[in-house]
Amino acid sequence: MAELLARLQRGELQNGEGRATILEVMQRTKGDRLSLQLPPGIPVRHKTGTLFAGSGLSVNHVGLIEMPRGDAVAIAVFIKDSPEAVSHSTRDKVIGGISRAIYDYYLIVE
């Protein structure tokens, strides 16, 4: 999924108006899992997902995090079969923490 998003960002899958439309829709998506622990104002184009199945819950969030220098980092976080006893806020914090770690890493290495 991250590779798909990276290729979309680079214009390898869809060019022009189609690409712009997809990215614009992703920017309007509600939910803050990926941006929860990012510095304020960092743009994130994303898509959330939650699936109730069996005895657990799958919580997903994928997107493109815009870096301060203008490029973007693709991220895909999938939490599968999380016990229902785990709060939604805990799952969201885990996704936010992963997102922040990746953001910080790319601030340092590039």
End-to-end CA gap in the chain: 23
Q: Which two tokens stand for residue 91?
A: 């799952």
| pTM of the predicted model over 0.85 | yes
The CATH fold assigned to 2-109 is Beta-lactamase (3.40.710)
Which pLDDT score is estimated for 75? 97
- Per the CB < 8 A criterion, the answer to whether 95 and 62 are in contact is no
| Burial state string for 81-103 with b = 16 or more CB within 10 A and e = fewer than 16 | eeeeeeeeeebbebbbebbbebb
- Tens place of pLDDT per residue across the chain (110 aa): 999 999 999 999 987 899 999 999 999 988 889 999 999 999 999 999 888 877 778 899 999 999 999 999 999 999 988 888 888 899 999 999 999 999 999 999 86
Domain boundaries, the chain: 2-109
Which pLDDT score is estimated for 31? 84
3-state secondary structure 32-56: CCCCCCCCCCCCEEEEEEEEEECCE
